[in-house]
Amino acid sequence: MEQLHQEEVLIRACTRNNRLFGLMKEHGFGGKGRVNVAAFSRKIGIGQNVIGDLLNIKIIPMHSKNSRFGRSGEYIHAALKIAEYFNVEVEELFPIDMYLKVKCSKTERPATLEELPKLISLMESYCTEPLSGIPIPMKIMEGSHE
Amino acid sequence: MNKEEIMAGSELRLDISLHNKRLLDLILGSFPSVASFCQEKAFGHTELGLYINLKKSPIRKTTGKYRTMCQRLADIFFVDVDWLFPLELYSLEKTSLSIEMRAEHISFHKCTQIAVEPEQYEVYELNNLKEKIDFVLSTLTPREERIVRMYFGIGGEDYNKSFILIAPEFDVTSQRVRQIFVKAMRKLRHPSRAYKLKSFVE
């Protein structure tokens, strides 16, 4: 069995809506590095699962073609209510392009201890200047080829 | 940071975290979730989470020996505790980090395939799928498993056989083979088994 599990580490990456995350933190729903969806849900009266799905980019915040709850292309009720609570434009808080681009919000990759320091230092270096032009995941991929 | 700054900033946030893969694999290989494992084996969910997420050292500072819980975990899975909890892993300074990025930087299909070489990812997915199919089929009765494998030609069974060709091998009629096959498929569709394979379909 030990031969089957050569890699020691599992690197897990989750994408989140940074604006919603930041606003929730700013309004006191969360602490360092995390947000309290339960408290936010109780405050605005929307289900935790919908907020979680919007935060973690798991659903597109618009009604689909065959939706029974609204016309196609309109933002869903939860998205409108969240934007209204924070007093921001719903299009800015939930940019539809971003939701359409993110096909998979969570991914995993096994790694060995030997390659881990290199990967971590690469990721950390992008934290300091994350918007320097080239897509960050691409850079990390380049690094892993080295 | 005020509201205007937040709204003008990056749209996306990439949260990266490290986990003990061996421990996670062993748990999820035999139980549907970490929660059910904790329930069955009477472990504290929070404490186990700390070990999985590399937040707590498995070594007791005072004695320099492995903690009782870690030893118990290794015993449950019949593995060496040093192998299950590599000390280098638990001595890492940082086990999670966040990167802010712009939506326009999502330039390829699955934006979050970070640090993954595409071919490597596919191989990993395929190996993972094979392991999971084997595991799910092993939960059926031996006869059901063999019939499903023969019908679909999975692992070892060289070609897809019809019920008529399978029937003589079990000394039953083709109709009986069909009944066994249908029952096996019904079992496989049950959420307790289907959850393992669902991610590969989506």
Per-residue pLDDT 10s for chain B (202 aa) are 677 777 777 788 878 888 898 898 888 888 888 888 898 888 888 889 999 988 888 998 888 889 999 999 999 888 888 888 988 888 877 787 777 777 665 543 333 444 334 444 444 455 567 777 888 888 899 999 989 888 888 876 556 788 888 898 889 999 999 999 999 999 988 887 877 676 666 5
Q: Which two tokens stand for residue B45?
A: 């969910």
Helices B191-201 and B174-189, packing angle to 10 deg: 80
Q: Which member of B20, B79, B108 has the closest CB to residue A2?
A: B79
pLDDT for A66 beyond 50: yes
- What is the reported pLDDT for B176? 94
Task: Choose from B3, B6, B201 for mutation: most chain A CBs within 10 A.
Answer: B6
Number of residues assigned to chain A: 146
Q: Supply the DSSP symbol for B69.
A: H
Q: Is A17 exposed, middle or buried (CB count within 10 Å of its CB: 0-12, 13-18, 19+)?
A: buried
- What is the reported pLDDT for A107? 74
Compute the average pLDDT of residues A31-38.
81
- What is the reported pLDDT for B154? 81
Helices A116-128 and A136-145, packing angle to 10 deg: 150
pLDDT band at A81; cut points 50, 70, 90: very high
- What is the reported pLDDT for B32? 83
Query: How many of the other CB atoms lie within 10 Å of CB of B79?
Result: 18
Does the distance separating the beta carbons of A102 and B12 come in below 8 Å?
Answer: yes
Please tell me the distance from the alpha carbon of residue A62 to that of residue A70, in angstroms, as a whole number. Answer: 9
Interface pTM (ipTM) of the complex? 0.76
Listed residue (B101, B46, B156) closest to A14, CA to CA: B101
Please tell me the distance from the alpha carbon of residue B55 to that of residue B58, in angstroms, as a whole number. Answer: 10
Query: How many of the other CB atoms lie within 10 Å of CB of B175?
Result: 10
Which residues in chain A touch residue B97, judged by CB atoms under 8 angstroms apart?
Answer: 120, 123-124, 127
Does the distance separating the beta carbons of A116 and B110 come in below 8 Å?
Answer: no
Collapsed DSSP state (helix, strand, coil) of residue A50: helix
The answer to whether the beta carbons of residues A66 and B74 sit under 8 Å apart is no
Q: Find the closest chain A residue to B85 by CA distance.
A: A8
- What is the reported pLDDT for A35? 85
pLDDT band at A29; cut points 50, 70, 90: confident
- Give the distance from residue A23's alpha carbon to the nearest chain B alpha carbon, in angstroms: 7
Please tell me the distance from the alpha carbon of residue A3 to that of residue B164, in angstroms, as a whole number. Answer: 40
- What is the reported pLDDT for A20? 92
